[in-house]
């Protein structure tokens, strides 16, 4: 079994998100060719079983913390993002486009 499960790939990509950056479900889904952004969200739902997965850095295309409700605390996600220097207003990332990080950037990380 050299190939990991698709959600394991989601964990890996999510872990690759730099500090102070955020990514979207669609970007990861597109990068992993999952075909559905929902798969990413569902996979991240299991991310709690896996440690070291900054699921709080993953938001929807609108930059909204749509998954905050699945966290131990609905404010934990925002607190974590603010702790990384990401401004969050009304559960929405400010300058989301500027904080946006694409998994493709991991290729030329260097």
Partner DNA sequence: GGATTGACGTCTG
Partner DNA sequence: GCAGACGCCAATC
**What are the residues binding DNA (CB under 7 A)?**
6, 24-26, 29, 34-42, 44-45, 47-48, 55-56, 58, 60-62, 66-67, 69-71, 77
Closest CA to 67 of 53, 51, 83, 84: 53
User: For residues 18 and 26, which CB has a smaller minimum distance to DNA in the complex?
Assistant: 26
User: For residues 24 and 88, which CB has a smaller minimum distance to DNA in the complex?
Assistant: 24
Tokens at 16, concatenated = 């690759």
CB of 42 to DNA, least distance (A): 5
Q: In terms of C-beta density within 10 A (0-12 exposed, 13-18 middle, 19 or more buried), how is residue 90 classed?
A: exposed
């Amino acid at each position: 079994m050299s190939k990991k499960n698709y959600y394991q790939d989601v964990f890996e990509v999510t872990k690759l998100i730099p500090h102070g950056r955020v990514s979207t479900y669609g970007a990861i889904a597109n990068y992993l060719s999952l075909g559905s952004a929902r798969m990413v969200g569902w996979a991240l739902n299991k991310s709690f079983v896996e440690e070291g997965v900054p699921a709080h850095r993953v938001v929807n295309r609108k930059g909204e913390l749509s998954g905050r409700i699945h966290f131990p605390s609905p404010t934990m996600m925002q607190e974590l993002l603010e702790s990384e220097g990401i401004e969050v207003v009304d559960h929405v990332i400010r300058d989301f486009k500027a904080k946006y990080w694409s998994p493709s950037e991991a290729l030329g990380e260097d």
